[in-house]
A and B are shown apart, each in its own frame.
Chain A
Amino acid sequence: MISAIQNPRIQFLFQCRHQFNFPPKSRHFHRSTILLNSASSSSQVLTEKTLTSTSPPTSEILTIRKSLLSRERKAVEIAEEYLNRLRLTEPTIKSFLHVSENVMKEAEELDLKIERNEELGVLAGVLIGVKDNICTVDMPSTGGSRILQGYRPAYDATAVKKLKQSGAILVGKTNMDEFGMGSTTEGSGFQVTANPWDVSRVPGGSSGGSAAAVSARQCVAALGSDTGGSVRQPASFCGVVGMKPTYGRVSRFGLMAYASSLDVIGCFGSSVADTAILLEAISGHDIFDATSSKREVPSFASQFISTELLESKPLKGLRVGIIGETLGDGVNKPVVSTIKDAALHLEELGCTVSEVSLPSFSLGLPAYYILASSESSSNLSRYDGVRYGNQAAAEELNSLYSDSRCNGFGPEVKMRILMGTYALSAGYYDAYYKRAQQVRTLVQKSFKDALRENDILISPAAPSAAYKMGEKKNDPLAMYAGDIMTVNVNLAGLPALVLPCGFVEGGPAGLPIGLQMIGGQFDEGKLLRVGHIFEQTLQGCRFIPPLVA
């Protein structure tokens, strides 16, 4: 029963309706009656604890900038604060594969720059975690794989270069499922990361390290990568904001390829504003990535309306489509009701919410797994132990290859390489790869149609909240099914923002649930604007895990 769940969101509904004097009923949303019913029935279980009021998240990046410019705080103090928290929480969370030794040195240099009144980059003094599959010159980059243990890249990824140019301080390399293949970060070749909301649970994946690090405030923001939901699902599991930009918005140069036609570098932050600032810093055309877009990058965060200036219906006229297929069978009921509450909140902000159907939705998952596996079987061929990475001692060439790869890759990676090799083999290509490409075209078309009728689409970011470690480790199909909410967006190459919108029961303080907002191509600006208003008006939820609260 839905009513059995302690949902802080429900309490919020009452609060905000009271505060903003919203109309009692949302007529546009055809399931609103059910929603309201569930809300009223569950109102009986509200406790005193959830009634404590909370303020909306603020931008850490802007706060840091302000305090540095006003000389209120020194960069070293800020860095120390984060590093201390990192040292304290890391033994439990294990979100980093490598922590930089240069953090304090870079902070000191920044303080000197401030003393000399030099101009500061937008990310000056901001501690940022970088997913381990993004190449960094001064830190090892393994992609979470044993085959690249100790590998130090010869160059910085374009996104990393841009971070450095913006003055960011890189904290370290975050843990991940090997080469991005997994949804729990249990597939890392090195360690298992815990979810800061409940350390017995997974942080999601594959960018689980980045999500957990931001959630546990080990760093201000982080880079991740998203091939089938690897930014959005862990953002949802860890209660942070995660942005998957349009394919081509951010250069992939320096991102270890998993599935080249789906991979994008994405951002994590503890607020929409931070995510927006980070995204802006890394976006833009790059001559080193032929698939990166030449489209101009708008200033995302500067378009945000400050909370004080918000009208009672700041999103008036915005057409929101809730994807019907994402609320049906196989989706955790409390998740569904949390998302419906979020929809209600959007209505209250002035949006018109209606249900849309994406008929090809269920086809996306198998198509995704065929395409991603096929491309990965090719992309991972370079890890042969010949030029870099771990090389097995072998008597002849074939064993050199097979032993190096056999010892270096984990089971999930091997499985996907085998699947992809099979799908691309002569005689099977048409039945698998080609058909999957046809499905991809269908998915793109159905999103296009849905986005003609709607400005944004919403859905859960994952069918459930964070689950227990080991729960799906030996059931790959169950794990793959968890990607149903996100893979279609990658197939279509669209941008999507995930932001925490509520809680379900579980763990010591409830488990966060992420709302996914999907926009048209290069519509990141709109998603972030809507997300920002949603976040700033969402009350009664504080997405800081008990570990650091």
Chain B
Amino acid sequence: MASLCFRGLRTHSSLLCPSSLFSTRNGVFFCTMQTTKTEKTNTRTDNTKRTQIKASTSTNTKLVKENEQRLNDYEAVIGIETHVQLSTVTKAFCSCPYNYGSQPNTTVCPICMGLPGALPIFNSKVIECAVKLGLALNCKLAMTSKFDRKQYFYPDLPKGYQISQFDVPIASGGYVDLDLPLEFGGGHRKFGITRVHMEEDAGKLMHSETGMYSQVDLNRAGVPLLEIVSEPDMRTGIEAAEYAAEIQRLVRYLGVGNGNMQEGSLRCDVNVSVRPIGQAEFGTKVEIKNMNSFSAMHRAIDFEISRQVLLHNQGLADQIVQETRLWEEGAQKTATMRKKEGLADYRYFPEPDLPEVVLTEDYVEGIRASLPELPEMKRRRFENMGLIMQDVLFLANDTNVCKFFESAVDKGADVKMAANWIMGDIAAYLKNEKLCITEIKLTPQELAELISFIKGGIISGKIGKDILFEIITKGGTVKAVIEEKDLVQITDPSEIEKMILKVIEENPQQVEKYRNGKTKLQGFFAGQVMKASKGKANPVLLNKILLEKLHAKS
């Protein structure tokens, strides 16, 4: 490619550098840039600011507490716009690949750079993803939809317009089911989906340390996105966060994207307003951006609700204005990014470079038939298998865990025991080692085997644990480990009796004490026998025979 030279935008420091974009005045964040779209990729999490979090959360808690009683008089109304980056092999309108973290401007071409004369060519994989997600969200599909141009100027938008869908989105009018975690009160929820549409992502701006210039990275420009707009059906931060988590699960179940919030593959813009309970009209809505985890969403929304309720209580409801606020992870609060001065006019019009998107019944039915079991169906099925909701939510949360669990059950593992092993020792190990369940050497087959050995009394639970850790790290089969280490439980009463008699023989003093009433010593004997058996003696048999022997001569 010739002349891929990007010049720095010679701009005033207060305009393009996010660190100097806002200047603090009287505690309110003040933005100097009003007419152009403001930086949206500033997603740095500051580890260095941890200490500040503690300090400010305490003040936040105070704020929340003061407000708590009054909070009950108000109801929050929350709607979410979610951008899902699709993990198609190529971009939406050209054949460039996209890999997060590539060197700037290495995956670009005349089309995604918006060079003169370049035209978009549509990647049909994007339609497939949109139809999948549309069906998964129970939407009605538009058999004929079209692309439109959304026009605005910003250096990360190479063509000066974004190819999007305006008045005819590919899917609309759906809903999503989810179950809230028990620690947040539990319960089933159904939230409406207004629409799902296809569009392209913009590039990224990289601001120099000095703030004297900015550079454009167009690697991300033209990457396909699905925008999912929810109905304003959520009422609390946790509902909103769980909604987003369910979208992430769907995206991952369907395999249309990686749903990674840190990388910006899943981005949520949340609209929050509050109104006195009983009031029919919505209050003034505020948009919150820049949350890069579900817990950040939860906290950001709860903060924003408190902030707005407080203003209501102070009689300052008129200070709630239509604006975009950024969640500041460091300060644990939202702050004004830009005020909206009337509605932005994007001058949408039909994209003349692309033909209409026409779906056929056959195409849609083919995709419908190929859909995997979705999280909601899975949860209901797990519930019917006799698992408690806590287990259900854990297992259905991650497709890989889910696959592992189901595969183990298929191989004959006891449902509850398999759930316990996965959620207990395996999950703990994964967490410690920062691994994914697909990265360990233990197979579902071996977990099933292990469980059946324990259940059949061939090995003890304790030995089972040792075997598990052995296999997780080194691989191999349960059988082989048991054989190799001679770990089969001793269930032959005569063999156990022999060991018991030997221990009694070797400890005459303790036997004496026991027989004189110090019955607590039974544990000591059991321990000695277990030790002698290298832990293999069946504990039930051992205790039974031990008691017999200890009492035999008295």
Contacts and interface: CB of A to CB of B under 8 A. Distances in A.
Interface stretch (A197-205, A248-256, A482-490): A248-256
A396 B121 contact: no
B530 to A, nearest CB: 74
Interface in B98-122: 110, 113-122
A157 B149 CA distance: 23
Among A252, A290, A291, A395, max chain B CB count under 10 A is at A290
Given A384-B153, A424-B349, A429-B349, A255 B117 contact: yes
B116 A386 contact: no
Among A134, A154, A287, A383, max chain B CB count under 10 A is at A154
A375 B9 contact: no
B23 to A, nearest CB: 15
**Interface bin, chain A:** 35 or more
B15 interface: yes
B349 A378 contact: yes
B529 to A, nearest CB: 79
B49 interface: no
A421 B348 CA distance: 11
Interface in A259-293: 259-261, 287-291
Interface string B16-46: 1000000000000000010110000000000
B409 to A, nearest CB: 48
A379 to B, nearest CB: 9
A135 B9 CA distance: 26
B155 interface: yes
Nearest to B16: A397
B36 A153 contact: no
B153 A381 contact: yes
A287 B121 contact: yes
Nearest to A134: B117
B36 A291 contact: no
A304 interface: no
Interface in B329-375: 343, 345, 347-349, 352-355
B160 A382 contact: yes
Interface string A117-139: 00000000000000001110100
Nearest to B111: A288
B65 interface: no
A143 interface: yes
B119 A393 contact: no
A155 B121 contact: no
B122 A154 contact: no
Contact of B36 (A134, A143, A259, A398): A398
A213 B467 CA distance: 86
Interface in A124-171: 133-135, 137, 141, 143, 148, 151-155, 157
Contact of B10 (A134, A141, A400): A400
Given A290-B120, A375-B352, A395-B11, A154 B1 contact: yes
B477 to A, nearest CB: 52
B114 A154 contact: no
B6 interface: yes
Among B6, B35, B149, B352, max chain A CB count under 10 A is at B352
A387 B118 CA distance: 14
A387 B216 contact: yes
A401 B117 contact: no
A290 B159 contact: no
A261 B117 CA distance: 14
Nearest to A401: B153
Contacts of A188: none
Q: Helix, strand, loop or mixed for chain B's interface?
A: loop
A142 to B, nearest CB: 9
B70 to A, nearest CB: 39
A254 B349 CA distance: 22
Given A137-B2, A378-B151, A400 B119 contact: no
B485 interface: no
Interface string A364-405: 000000000011011011111011100101111110110000
A433 B349 contact: yes
A290 B160 CA distance: 20
B2 A152 contact: yes
Given A290-B355, A387-B158, A157 B117 contact: yes
B6 A387 contact: yes
B160 A388 contact: no
B7 interface: yes
A309 interface: no
A262 to B, nearest CB: 8
B12 interface: yes
Contacts of B216: 386-387
Contacts of A254: 117-118
Contacts of A401: 153
Contacts of B345: 425-426
A418 B58 CA distance: 54
A386 B9 contact: yes
B429 interface: no
A52 B361 CA distance: 69
A257 interface: yes
B47 interface: no
Contact of A424 (B6, B115, B347): B347
Interface string A56-75: 00000000000000000000
A260 B3 contact: no
A381 B151 contact: yes
Interface string A424-463: 1110010001000000000000000000000000000000
A134 B1 CA distance: 18
A287 B119 CA distance: 10
A380 B114 CA distance: 11
A382 B116 contact: yes
A384 B114 CA distance: 11
Contacts of A141: 116-117
Given A382-B158, A400-B10, A261 B352 contact: yes
12 contacts: A141-B117, A153-B2, A153-B117, A291-B355, A380-B160, A386-B155, A387-B6, A397-B11, A397-B33, A421-B347, A426-B343, A426-B345
Interface of A: 133-135, 137, 141, 143, 148, 151-155, 157, 252-257, 259-261, 287-291, 374-375, 377-378, 380-384, 386-388, 391, 393-398, 400-401, 421, 424-426, 429, 433
